[in-house]
Amino acid sequence: MTRMSGEHPQMPVEDFEEIERHAPDTVRLEFVNGKLEVKPMPDGDHGEIYMWLLEQCMRQRPDLRLYPDRGLVVEGYRRGRARPPGVLAPARHFTGHGAWSDPQGVVMVTEITSHDTDTDTDRRDRVEKRDAYAQAGIPVYLLVDRDALRLVVHTEPRDGTYRSLRVHDYGYTVDLPAPVGIALDTEPLTDLPA
């Protein structure tokens, strides 16, 4: 049996884009590591976390925007397609872009883990997407890990991997390095249900 991967994808990326283009609005699809993935629809706490991050970004970096669910071309050789919950980039950066944008100019992507029993969540958010964003050269990958009640900050992408990893429990201030330059007060996250 052949294992799906970037070397042995389920389908060409063009076929994925055609499927995604015709998917209903209630379905969010990604193509990471050669595999079509159906993303769980976000729950209310996911939305609250996104709004918490959006407010802090707007206050501290009014020159940047946190774009929701922006389609990015990721991975080595641009074989993947991801829709992170938040893509931080300069204002008007995606004007004129189609459904999938080159990550050039993006300063940070954010993933917020889902509370589901899907064992693929661990692999998808904590490994495959991390690696795809590093391969795309995105300077900062912020993972809001709802299961572990912490933020994981990946920085310094080089040779397809992030060279720096910092883990912060909820309740502390998390400094996101340049080019982001934002200090996140995570105290509000301690009020969310585990």
Q: Could you tell me the two tokens for 2?
A: 């052949």
Query: Between residues 194 and 148, which one has the greater pLDDT?
Result: 148
Phi-psi region of 85 (alpha: psi -120 to 50; beta: other; left: phi over 0): alpha
pLDDT of residue 6 exceeding 60: no
Helix ranges (H only) for the chain are: 13-22, 44-60, 120-123, 129-135
Residue 110, number of CB atoms within 10 A of its CB: 22
Distance, CA of 188 to CA of 149 (rounded, Å): 12
Distance, CA of 75 to CA of 33 (rounded, Å): 8
Give the tens place of pLDDT for each residue, 115-139: 665 556 667 778 889 999 999 999 9
Which amino acid is it at 6?
G
Give whole-number Cα distances, 68 to 41, 82, 108, 112, in Å.
13, 12, 12, 12
Closest C-alpha to 62, from 95, 88, 96, 94: 88
Domain coordinates in residue numbering, the chain: 42-191
| Over residues 50-59, mean pLDDT | 97
Q: What is the pTM of this model?
A: 0.84
Q: Please state which CATH number belongs to domain 42-191.
A: 3.90.1570.10
